[in-house]
A and B are shown apart, each in its own frame.
Chain A
């Protein structure tokens, strides 16, 4: 049963670490599917983490146990508004989308730390008093073997992330809205000819990616970091971007990639408890997810083709 024990300790940690990546990567999928490259995922996560923590610290006394849930909701809304900057630049101002995304990344960190210093007088906030706690899912966690693996000591946010991935898959591939969103990213002129408002669809997609990035950032902050500073989000947004590409711009693919990253991360965390991994120098386990990703992309995943119009501003009337 050794293997089962190992799985029982790895899977909850993997789910825990993947959740923020799943949210953010889903945002990336939506934005890129509509034809807007979003390098700014990192910045959207920073904004989400900042808002999530500040809201949590401010309203913990009033809202009590509901605080973390309201916090991530508020973080999602504010980040969606923040991503409007990226939308305006890349859709209306025809900006280079990569450049505008880079600006979002810089702006979020600058704004977050500036306001933190302004409001708290130091470079980082206090620890939140109302973070998310792990819990056993009633009934389901009593199922033998599987229950302990997937439903014990878990965070509800992880299930929310997986649920959203399925929901977004459904919306993208089974509804008219999803078809329109994808068509705008593949061939905006054809979509326009068919009466789809390209600009509107892209605005919606970018703002949804802002909301999801904000969710990802705030979930990271309220489950893992528990406070905000300039080094709370360092690279998770880029990992999410990698998950988008790894998952071939598909919501379920991105979910799988994010889960894989989380799993690889958890290996390096609990390796000391696993007999055959305990003697491996930790550096190998730490870099394992990145090396495996490169190998996977070079080996069997193969060509990753972005949505056709991804990165091109749509200019009405041009050919």
Chain B
């Protein structure tokens, strides 16, 4: 028999394979050469130091938004508001980063923490309403996404700059960017944030698997009623879980504000980091290590896709289709399990 553990590893792998296979079939159907297409994708993600650096740059916020969505998932909540939490985190980080100068050892941590705090606040509100009023967290987080988007644009124009379309740049003392990392990656925008993201993944694993609080989060996620009868404070767990989830997403905003960009442009639409985080969390099975791996895969796909139109002539949206199909196959893991068991039986 297959063990559950083996299934949990096999299902995402098969899903990724099927997704890429479907992508190849689509390329064939539209008269492209799938080998050229995927070669362009691979080169665009890993082909040079620059591309590799850009892939890591993209992976960094993906890890954090993936963690945000996953953490809420594990306690039975659907945080569709990572998007808004990223935006407020970005604003807070850039605000702290650009409004004064201080020694880096104080300034940088302060800016990063400000982002986490802003994200946490943006997660606290839906958590509070869910816990006290029973209001569905999905609808509140959707609304908060829009509020974050519009308020951030207003703030960029009126508070973070003098009527400009982007905020003032942050001070060097608050920057995550590194000359050394840029040089070894042929001047990509890779920055030290990846260390923060990896550390956050470790924190998530540690909280959920090694602490009593984490056990309670998971218990509430499995069965809120049973947890309540066992004496756990379900309301407190819901609120805390959303706060932690929001803080992760806020950190993703700091990665963009302090690392990749060094400022905040006004956004006419969402960044999609939060929505992509949903995909990252799902493929990663909502575990710390799984999310790092799936963020790496999605980051590589997204960055590599940019190389497809120029070298292979394939529209980069092919990758969006592949990602969607991967998620679809992960969702349908029941049928994959069924097929695996069936194959196993026939071998006997």
Show the binding face of A for B, using Cβ within 8 Å: 39, 85, 89-90, 93-96, 98-100, 102-107, 109-111, 113-114, 117-118, 230-231, 234-235, 238-239, 241-242, 245-246, 281, 283, 286-287, 290-291, 293-294, 297-298, 302-304, 306
Residue in B145, B321, B333, B334 whose beta carbon sits within 8 Å of that of A107 in the complex: B321
Show the binding face of B for A, using Cβ within 8 Å: 26, 30, 78, 80, 125, 129, 133-136, 138-140, 142-147, 150-151, 153-154, 268-270, 275, 278-279, 282, 315, 317-325, 327-328, 330-335
Residues of B within 8 A of A107 (CB): 320-321, 324-325, 328
Closest to B332 in A: A93
Determine whether the beta carbon of A118 is less than 8 Å from that of B144.
no
Extra contacts besides A89-B328, A291-B143, A303-B133 (8): CB < 8 Å? A85-B328, A93-B331, A102-B282, A103-B325, A246-B139, A290-B146, A303-B134, A306-B136
Complex-state Cα separation, A190 to B322, whole angstroms: 39
Contact of A302 with B133 at beta-carbon distance under 8 Å, contacts A102-B282, A283-B151, A291-B147 already known: yes
In order of increasing CB-CB distance, the 6 nearest A-B pairs are A110-B320, A107-B324, A106-B324, A95-B331, A99-B331, A110-B321
Complex-state Cα separation, A94 to B154, whole angstroms: 44
Determine whether the beta carbon of A103 is less than 8 Å from that of B143.
no
Write the nearest CB–CB distance from A109 to chain B, whole angstroms.
6
Determine whether the beta carbon of A111 is less than 8 Å from that of B321.
yes
Residue among A93, A113, A281, A306 facing the most chain B CB atoms (10 A cut-off): A93
Write the nearest CB–CB distance from B333 to chain A, whole angstroms.
8
Residue in B140, B145, B315 whose beta carbon sits within 8 Å of that of A117 in the complex: B315
Determine whether the beta carbon of B279 is less than 8 Å from that of A245.
no
**With contacts defined as CB atoms under 8 Å apart, how many contacts are there between chain A and chain B in the complex?**
137
Determine whether the beta carbon of B334 is less than 8 Å from that of A287.
no
Determine whether the beta carbon of A290 is less than 8 Å from that of B334.
no
Residue in B136, B154, B278 whose beta carbon sits within 8 Å of that of A102 in the complex: B278
Determine whether the beta carbon of A103 is less than 8 Å from that of B324.
yes
Residues of B within 8 A of A294 (CB): 125, 129, 140, 143-144
Residues of A within 8 A of B317 (CB): 109-111, 113-114, 117, 230
Determine whether the beta carbon of A281 is less than 8 Å from that of B320.
no
Closest to A109 in B: B320
Residues of B within 8 A of A238 (CB): 80, 142, 145
Determine whether the beta carbon of B332 is less than 8 Å from that of A89.
yes
Residues of B within 8 A of A99 (CB): 282, 327, 330-331
Complex-state Cα separation, A95 to B270, whole angstroms: 28
Residues of B within 8 A of A111 (CB): 317, 321
Complex-state Cα separation, A239 to B328, whole angstroms: 23
Residues of B within 8 A of A303 (CB): 133-135
Determine whether the beta carbon of B146 is less than 8 Å from that of A298.
no
Complex-state Cα separation, A110 to B325, whole angstroms: 10
CB<8 Å pairs between A and B, sample of 11: A93-B335, A95-B333, A100-B331, A102-B279, A114-B315, A114-B318, A114-B320, A238-B80, A281-B154, A297-B136, A304-B135
